[in-house]
Amino acid sequence: MTARRRYWLMKSEPDAFSIDDLERVGTEPWTGVRNYQARNFMRDGMQVGDGVLFYHSNTAPPGIVGTATVASTAYPDPTQFDRDSGYFDPKATHEQPRWHLVDVAFERRFKRTITLDEIKAHADDLGEEFPLIRRGTRLSVLPVSAAQWRHLLSLE
């Protein structure tokens, strides 16, 4: 049985890791997520082949800049065990890892950024529950419905 393809939005600060960086390397382990809800989406929700909207945060203007695909099932984030990493977690052990990630593969860079402003302007079409435009939501990994995925791509 093949599960239906799911869709996600993943945020990255372009100064740290941009869509251009992803295009250069092709596939990247999505290290550094240290939020349980975001981790759960990766660990429990993602399947190889799922669609990812790549979002640039903390930049002007913030927005969706391209697409990627989920390229692995979830596995422990190696940076949690690395004392030299800023993502080191002293409470994580190999026996009981706290943080999981997936590999993300480059798919396409948009010709232009679908800005947060535009996305907000389409709030009625996307639905109230869309977490990206809900005030105070800081989730860096969040689910997108098939309808939202289609609608957001149509804005390009």
CB of 1 to DNA, least distance (A): 32
Is 40 a binder of DNA (CB under 7 A)? no
Q: For DNA, which stretch binds (CB under 7 A), given 22-30, 34-42, 77-85, 100-108? A: 34-42
CB of 4 to DNA, least distance (A): 26
Q: Which of 78, 125, 139, 153 binds DNA (CB under 7 A)?
A: 139
CB of 94 to DNA, least distance (A): 18
Of the CA atoms within 13 Å of residue 109, those in its CB half-sphere come to 10
Closest CA to 87 of 102, 76, 73, 77: 77
Q: Which of 18, 79, 80, 140 binds DNA (CB under 7 A)?
A: 140
Q: How far does the chain reach from its first CA to its final CA, in angstroms? A: 33
Q: Are 48 and 4 in contact (CB under 8 A)?
A: no
Is 82 a binder of DNA (CB under 7 A)? no
Q: Which of 27, 58, 73, 93 binds DNA (CB under 7 A)?
A: 58
Q: For DNA, which stretch binds (CB under 7 A), given 42-50, 54-62, 67-75, 77-85? A: 54-62
> HEC string of 35-94?
CHHHHHHHHHHCCCCCEEEEEECCCCCCEEEEEEEECCCCEECHHHHCCCCCCCCCCCCC
Residue 6: helix, strand or coil by DSSP? coil
Q: Are 82 and 64 in contact (CB under 8 A)?
A: no
Q: For DNA, which stretch binds (CB under 7 A), given 21-29, 45-53, 56-64, 69-77? A: 56-64
The token duo for 65 is 């800049």
**What is the binding site for DNA (CB under 7 A)?**
11, 13, 34-37, 57-60, 62, 91, 116-117, 135-140
